[in-house]
Amino acid sequence: MTDEEPPAAEQLALIRATARKAKPRTWRGAQLAEGLPVARVLVDKGLLHLDQFFDYAVPAAMDADARPGVRVRVRFGARVVKGRREGGTLHDGFVVERRADSDYAGPLAPLAQVLSDEVVLTPSLLALCRQVADRYAGALADVVQLAVPPRMARAERDPSPEPLPAPAPPEPGSWARYATGPAYLQALARGDIPRAVWLALPGPHWPAELARAIAATLASGRGALAVLPDGRSVARADAALTELLGAGHHVMLTADAGPEERYRRWLAVSRGAVRAVVGTRAAMFAPVADLGLVALWDDGDSSHAEPHAPQPHARDVLLLRAAEERTAFLLGGLTSTVEGAQLVDSGWALPLAATRDEVRAAAPLIRTVGDADQARDAAARAARLPSLAWQVTRDALAIGPVLVQVPRRGYVPKLACDSCRTAARCAACAGPLELREQGGTPSCGWCGRPAADWHCQECGGFRLRAQVVGARRTAEELGRAFPRVPVRTSGRDTVLASVGAAPALVIATPGAEPVADGAGYAAALLLDGWALLNRPDLRAGEEALRRWAAAAALVRPAGEGGTVLVLAEPTLRPVQALVRWDPAGHAVRELAERAELRFPPVSRMASVSGPAGAVAELLALVRLPPGTDQLGPVPAPGGGERLLLRVPPGNGAALAVALKVGQVARAARGGGEPVSVRLDPTDIG
C-alpha cells in the first residue's frame, strides 16, 4: 500500500544488472541501422521467471520503424550449429529502448519483423508495468500482457478523432451535500492533486458525482481514469458523463465492447485523442496522457482483483499510479474497505463524507430481526420468515417495488458453531477451520493445526455444522403469498439493470440488484444475513455491510417510506453499522481489529504454493525480512502445499523483493517444479 521503501528497489536493480558492453555483432553481418543499431526487447512469452530484456540487432530497413514501444517479432532460443544459427522460434515482443551498444557479449540476432509502427508500450506504461511486477513479485511480461491489449490491425489503420478542448469546470451539483465536496471539485479543476476516500450517500446520485469529479479534472487540462467493478456500473458512469459533457470527452473500456472496438478505444486513449476513461478492471492500466485523477468505485468488490498473474488489484495499481504520476485520487463507495480506512488513518487521503443530517435525509429506515425474535415468532417457524417481514412487504407493495436479497449459491461458511452459527476459527491463529474428510478432525486452513477440542468463542458450544441455506425457496414462498404481484429475478446468468416503479417483488443475489425507476424501492428484505456474516473470511463483516448497503441504497429515503429489513442479529457490528448508516465507523473498527490481530492489510501477507519439496527449496533461498511469520504449510486444495508469510507493516515491498529474488535464484539453478507466489492473496480465508 503506502509502505514501499527504496532499498528493496536497489536489490532488484542488482539482479537485473548484466555484464560489460560489447560492440554489436550480428550473425550474418547484415546491414544494420546506423545511429542506434541495438534494440532492447521485452520478449512476450517464454523465460517467465528470468524476467529480463534481450538485445537484438536492428536491420537498416527497420531503423525508422523499430521505435521504443512498438510490437516486434524476434527469433528466440536459436542454437549455433557449425558456426551457423539454426532454429529459434518466433516470439512477439516490444522494443523498450534503442541503443548504440549492447551489454550482451555474444553476437546479436536481428529483429525478425516490426509488426506495426504504433507505439503501444510507452515509457510511462512500461514504468507502471515494472512497478506492478515488482509490487507483486511477478514477471514484467505478465503485467505487460494485462496492460496492452492484443493488436487488431483494422483498429490501428483508422485514425482517432481530434481531441476536444477542455470543458468548463462543472457546478458542484449534489456534491454540495458533502462538507468538503465542492472544495474537492475546485481543487481538481485548479490542477491540484487532492486525495480522498469518499463515502457516497445512499441513492442514485453517485454516478453523476463521479462524472463531475472527472469533468473537473478535464477542466484543468488533465486526463482522468475511473475504474468500476462491472459493466452495469460503468454504463451508469458513462451515461452520467455523457449527460454532463456530451460524447467525445471519454471512452468506456469494458469487455462487452468486443476486442476490436475495445482496441480502437484504447488507441484513442493511447494517442491522446481522448482524455477520460471509465472502465472495468483492465482499464486500470489505460495509458491516459497527463493523468490528473484516478478514481475507483466500490473497491471491496472482488472483481477489482485481476485473476491473471501476478493478480494485481485495481486499488493497488491506482495507488501506484497516483504516487508515480502525481495524480489526484478518489476512492468511492457506499461503504469503506479496511484499506480505504487505512488510507485515511495514515493521513494519505482525507475523508470525503456527508453530514449526519444529509445521511438521515438520504437513508432508508433499517429494521432488524435477530434469532431470538424469530424463535419467539410462531409464524416464522412455520413459514421460515418472521411476521415482520410479511408486514413490511405487504405495506411496501402498496407503494412500490420490493427488493429481496437472497444469498448466492455456495456462499455459505465451511464450518460454523451448531448452536449460534458463528464461523469456526482456529484458537491459535484465528484462521478458518476446515474439514478435509468426512468424520475427520477439523483443522485450520492457515496453520494446519488440528482443532480436536474446538469450542465456540461466542456461546461455548462444541458441535460443528456445515451450513446449508434455503433462502431462495423462502423468496419463492414470498412470491406465492402475493399472487397478484409480478416477481422478477436477477442473478447469475440474467442480471437486470433496472425494474419499473410499479409494485413488484424483485429477487436478486448480492451484486445483481437492479435499480428501481422513479423513487426507488419501497422496501428491501435482506435474507442473507447469517450466510454473509458467518463466512470464514476476514472480510465477512465488511462484505456483509457492503452488500446490504448496496441493496439499501436503492431504497427510497425513510422520509418517503423506504424501509429495509435485515435478518441478522442486531448486536453484531455490521448490523449496527447498517442501522446507524455509519460505514466509516465500521471500517475504522475493523482496521483497529486487524492491526491488533496482525492481519492484512496492516500486516502484509504472501502465499507460496507448489509441490512440498519445491516450496521448501524456494524458502531456503529467500532472505525474509525481519519479523516475518510463517503460517503453515498446509496441504493446498489442488495438491501440493501452501505456506503463508506475514510481515509487519512497512515490509510489504521487502517481502515481494525477497520472494522475487528467491524465484529468480531458484530458476537459475535449474528450476524444477514451479512455485506460485502471490502477494496479498484474497482467498486465504
Partner DNA sequence: AGCACGCCGACT
Partner DNA sequence: GTCGGCGTGCTC
What's the closest the beta carbon of residue 511 comes to DNA, in angstroms? Answer: 37
Q: Describe the chain by its helix, strand, coil percentages, rounded to 5.
A: 35, 20, 45
Strand order in the sheet with 89-99: 54-57, 38-43, 89-99, 71-76, 113-114
| Torsion angle, alpha carbons of 152, 155, 158, 164, to 10 | -140
User: Which residues, 6 or more positions from 544, have their beta carbon under 8 angstroms from its beta carbon?
Assistant: 529, 532, 533, 568, 574
Say which DSSP state 30 is in.
P
Q: Which is nearer to DNA, 79 or 480 (CB)?
A: 79
The distance of closest approach from Cβ of residue 40 to DNA in the complex, given in angstroms and rounded to an integer, is: 8
CA 14 to CA 9: how far, in whole Å? 9
Closest CB to DNA among 109 and 540? 109
Question: What are the C-alpha distances in Å from 650 to residues 40, 189, 625?
Answer: 34, 34, 10
Question: Between residues 252 and 614, which has the closer beta carbon with respect to DNA?
Answer: 614
Instruction: Tell me which amino acid residue 306 is.
Output: E
Q: Which is nearer to DNA, 90 or 497 (CB)?
A: 90
Q: Measured from the CB of residue 62, what is the shortest distance to DNA in angstroms?
A: 14
Residue ranges for the binding site? 417, 420, 426, 429, 444, 447, 456, 459
Q: Is the dihedral of CA 495, 412, 533, 397 positive or negative?
A: positive
Question: How far is residue 234's CA from residue 364's CA, in Å, rounded to a whole number?
Answer: 25
The sign of the CA dihedral 260, 266, 272, 275 is: positive
Q: Report, in Å, the least distance between residue 94 CB and DNA.
A: 14
Residues that bind DNA (CB under 7 A): 18, 46-50, 54-57, 75-79, 81, 85, 87-89, 102, 104, 106, 108-109, 670-671, 674
**Residue 113 CB, nearest approach to DNA (Å):** 14
> What is the distance between the alpha carbons of residues 34 and 77, in angstroms, rounded to a whole number?
26
Q: Which residues contact 225 (CB under 8 A, 6 or more apart)?
A: 276, 277, 279, 283, 284, 286, 288, 291, 293, 294, 295, 318, 321
Nearer to DNA, 139 or 210 (CB): 139
Q: Which one, 50 or 595, has the nearer CB to DNA?
A: 50
C-beta of 144 vs 349, nearer to DNA = 144
- How far apart are alpha carbons 195 and 190 in whole angstroms? 14
Smallest distance from DNA to CB 56, Å: 4
- DSSP state letter for 27: S
Residue closer to DNA, measured from CB, 556 or 678: 678
Residues annotated within a binding site for Zn(2+): 417, 420, 426, 429, 444, 447, 456, 459
Q: Where are the alpha helices (DSSP H) in 378-444?
A: 378-383, 387-397
Which residues neighbour 535 within 8 Å (Cβ) at sequence distance 6 or greater?
Answer: 411, 412, 413, 423, 543
Give the single-character DSSP code of 148.
S
Q: Which among 644, 424, 342, 685 is positioned nearest to 539, based on CA atoms?
A: 685
- Residue 75 or 488 with smaller CB distance to DNA: 75
CB of 67 to DNA, least distance (A): 18
CB-nearer residue toward DNA: 49 or 589: 49
User: Residue 676 forms beta bridges with which residues?
Assistant: 609
Closer to DNA at the Cβ: 163 or 674? 674
Tell me the C-alpha distance between 371 and 567, whole Å: 8
**What's at 593, amino acid-wise?**
E
User: By C-beta, is 47 or 164 nearer to DNA?
Assistant: 47
- Distance CA(606)–CA(631), nearest Å, equals 10
Q: What 3-state DSSP class applies to 346?
A: coil
Q: What are the residues facing 443 on neighbouring strands? A: 434, 450
Give the CA radius of gyration of the chain: 28
Distance CA 310, CA 679 (A): 8
State the cell numbers at 441.
Answer: 478432525
Q: What is the largest CA-CA distance in the chain?
A: 92
**Shortest Cβ distance from residue 65 to DNA (Å)?**
18
DSSP element (H, E) containing 166: none
> Counting beta carbons within 10 angstroms of the beta carbon of residue 387, is it exposed (0 to 12), middle (13 to 18) or buried (19 or more)?
middle
Helix (H, G, I), strand (E, B) or coil at 467: coil
Nearer to DNA, 19 or 398 (CB): 19
In whole angstroms, the minimum distance from the beta carbon of 674 to DNA comes to 6
- Distance between CA atoms of residues 118 and 37, nearest Å: 20
As measured in angstroms, the least distance from the Cβ of 142 to DNA is: 13
